[in-house]
Amino acid sequence: ETGVTQSPTHLIKTRGQQVTLRCSSQSGHNTVSWYQQALGQGPQFIFQYYREEENGRGNFPPRFSGLQFPNYSSELNVNALELDDSALYLCASSGDRGSWTEAFFGQGTRLTVV
């Protein structure tokens, strides 16, 4: 089991609402990445934060935003929720921002938008 924890584990929101998901990275890791995994699909990269700054972004609209805090924990915020935002959201931490380091994933947050 990794040291990456996510909260909450499940939540249900109404279309148009806003949601905040949280991730606590593994001890010693300064980089957090967020992924969206729709049912039956592989995870899709949303963005990465390295030392409190966004370090790369996938093909997601601006209503997906994030923060990283001085202790390297992170939040994913999604505004104006749409039905298609229903998915498993995964957080991964790593010891460096580059792809050459191993990523460790949390258990995910299952978001359902109704």
Which has the closest alpha carbon to 97: 50, 57, 58? 50
In the chain, the DSSP E strands lie at: 5-7, 10-13, 19-24, 31-37, 44-50, 53-57, 64-68, 74-78, 87-94, 104-105, 109-113
Q: How far is the CB of 35 from other proteins (least distance, A)?
A: 8
Number of residues that bind other proteins (CB under 8 A): 35
Token reading at 102: 């191993």
Residues 5-34 that bind other proteins (CB under 8 A): 6, 31, 33
Could you identify the residue written with the tokens 């923060």? Answer: 67
Measured from the CB atom, the residue of 80 and 93 that comes closer to other proteins is 93
Minimum CB distance to other proteins, residue 52 (Å)? 15
Residue (4 or 80) nearer to other proteins, CB: 4
> Under the rule (CB under 8 A), what is the footprint of other proteins?
2, 4, 6, 31, 33, 35, 40-45, 48, 50, 55-56, 58, 88, 90, 92, 94, 96-108, 110
